[in-house]
Amino acid sequence: MASTTHNRTTPPTTPPDGASRGPLAARISLGKVFTPVPSEFVLISSAALLLTAFGLVMVLSATSATSTAAGLGPFDTLVKQAVFATIGIPLMFVLSRFPVSFWKKIAWPVLIGATFLQLLVFVPGIGIENDGNRNWISIAGQQAQPSEFLKLTLALWLGLVLFRKRSLLTKWQHVFIPVVPVGGLVIATVMAGGDLGTTMILVLILLAALFFSGVKLRLFIIPLLAAVATVAVLAIRSPNRMARIMSFLDPNCIADYLETCYQPLHGVWSLASGGIFGLGLGNSREKYAWLPAAAHDYIFAIVGEELGLIGCIVALGLFALFAVGAFHVVRKTDDAFVRIAAGAITVWIVGQALINIGVVLRVFPVLGVPLPFMSQGGTALLSVLMACGVLLSFARTLPVKTPAVAAI
């Protein structure tokens, strides 16, 4: 009888199913959302958001006048770019929640899918040719550049393949198979369209993946020679590319001013006219149809003209902030797949930014490579933001340093 009384008066230790467990489960789920993230996550995401916002402002400034002159609204180009930013930024944070195992599983399928999209540029009625390059598609009135997605998918695929063969990479056979045949085939789909700039970035991604996989430097000789030979063949076969290279080698570039020298010279003049503080946001003169591709490949020239040296330093500082966070992920991770894929993605984005700025400064010939985050182009912006989502996913795997609490 005493035992029965005790059971009636003692409260249950486990709450019954219902309302009492609901709030606890909700608090646990909410706690997972607000779990502390490594500093690398903050650096990468902050730099990506600031560069995207910076780019939207500069795209508006570079296109408002020409859009109005063409009979469109001054915000027409900005709205189109902002749509991709509105899609890409949430998608970046959604992708950051996926585990590393997910990226390993989809590496092969997404590469195949992106290659199939790239092959559509050669389908009559779908593929679009522009300035001698056949690297765009148009479906239901919407244009896209499939090769931008090849950059991310190739980095993931290289990370998976080299991760699986990491114990065999001391032998050249395992280094080059299947990396060179498959990677070469993917790059060839872009080369066939005549896009030398994107081809160079894809080769850069491949070389970066080999480097971060720990392959011996002597094994880089063949890929480097193949890359140089490819660029040389593409340049020789195209009179337009040879003319651009020759104009780059001419320090004055006056003899052919109205042709291949026109854009490089106006890009330099745009930067030079900005001085230290710039002409003021929206006050560019070169954007009034003087500088071709002002909102595309030469957006950095408009930054220098309107915001001056200070604006250029801010842009470079944001890219440096991104690079620090991304390379910290490469350095701190213990997962070979994360190191290789993150290294390839980082070299792609930072390297492409340096190449674009180098073209504006006439350090390199005109290559047609956009400035990541900032140049006009929805596909390019979306692919870079997705790549940042992958980097953020990798950053979440790093240990979080919590401040020590002093004992009382």
- 332 CB-contact burial (10 Å; exposed 0-12 / middle 13-18 / buried 19+): middle
Amino acid 404: pLDDT: 52
On the question of pLDDT at 119 being above 70, the answer is yes
For residue 59, give both structure tokens.
């795209």
Q: Looking at the predicted structure, is the pLDDT value of residue 203 above 80?
A: yes
pLDDT at 407: 45
* Size of the chain in residues: 408
The sign of the CA dihedral 286, 147, 86, 91 is: negative
6 sits in which H/E element: helix 2-9
Q: Average pLDDT of 359-379?
A: 92
pLDDT (tens digit per residue) in 136-157: 999 877 889 999 999 999 999 9
Report the percent of the chain where pLDDT is more than 90: 58
pLDDT at 13 over 60: no
CB 47 within 8 A of CB 319: yes
Find tokens 């408009």 and name the residue: 302
The predicted model gives 47-68 an average pLDDT of 94
* pLDDT score for 92: 98
Sequence ranges of the domains in the chain: 37-395
Mean pLDDT for 180-189 is: 91
pLDDT for res 82: 97
The mean-pLDDT minimum among 26-30, 53-57, 81-85, 335-339 falls in: 26-30
State the DSSP string of 347-371: HHHHHHHHHHHHHHTTSS-----PP
375-403: pLDDT as tens digits: 999 999 999 999 999 999 999 999 877 55
State residue 289's pLDDT score: 79
